Amino acid sequence: MTTKATTPTTSMPVKADAEKPRRCFIPKTDIVETPTEFVAEIDLPGARRKDTDVSFENGALRIHARVEIPERTSTRSLWREFQVGDFYRSFEVHEALDAERIGASLEDGVLRVTLPKAAAATARKILVESK
C-alpha cells in the first residue's frame, strides 16, 4: 500500500450561480479491507439518499451530502451542542480498483461504500501445467 504525498486537488464543485455558503462538516469514516474489497463506512446523520453524491474519478473518492436544516417556525432553541450541515470528504485511493463495480448504500445515516479490488490485485494461484 502506497502512501506517497499527493497535491491537493480542487475542492467540491461550486455552483456558478452563487448560493449562500452552507455549513459543511467532515464526516467520520471507518475504512476496512477484506480479501476482495475495501469498505468505507461514513457517518452522515440526517442525510438522505437523493441528496448524497458519491463519485470516483482519477483515483479520488468523493462524498458530498446536502443536509437540509429543518425549518422550525415559532420555536426557541434552548440548548445547542451540535450543528446540522452538509458533509464533504474526499479520499485519495492508491490501490487498484474495479471502478465499474464501486457501490454505495445509505441506511440509518451511515453511507457504506464498497470498492472492489481489481482482479489483478487479488492474489491468484497460477497452475503450473506440465507439457
Tell me whether residue 50 or residue 131 sits nearer to other proteins (CB atom): 50
CA angle 75, 81, 86 (to 5 degrees): 85
| CB of residue 127 to other proteins, shortest distance in Å | 24
| CB of residue 6 to other proteins, shortest distance in Å | 6
Q: How would DSSP label each residue in 110-129? A: EEEEEEEBPGGGS-------
Instruction: Say how far apart CA 39 and CA 27 lie, in whole Å.
Output: 15
25 scored as a contact of other proteins (CB under 8 A):
yes
| CB of residue 130 to other proteins, shortest distance in Å | 33
Place of cell 440548548: 79
Q: What cell numbers appear for 55 in the block?
A: 463519485
Site residues for other proteins per CB under 8 A = 1, 3, 6, 8-12, 14, 21-35, 38, 41, 43-48, 60-61, 72, 74-83, 85-86, 88-95, 108-110
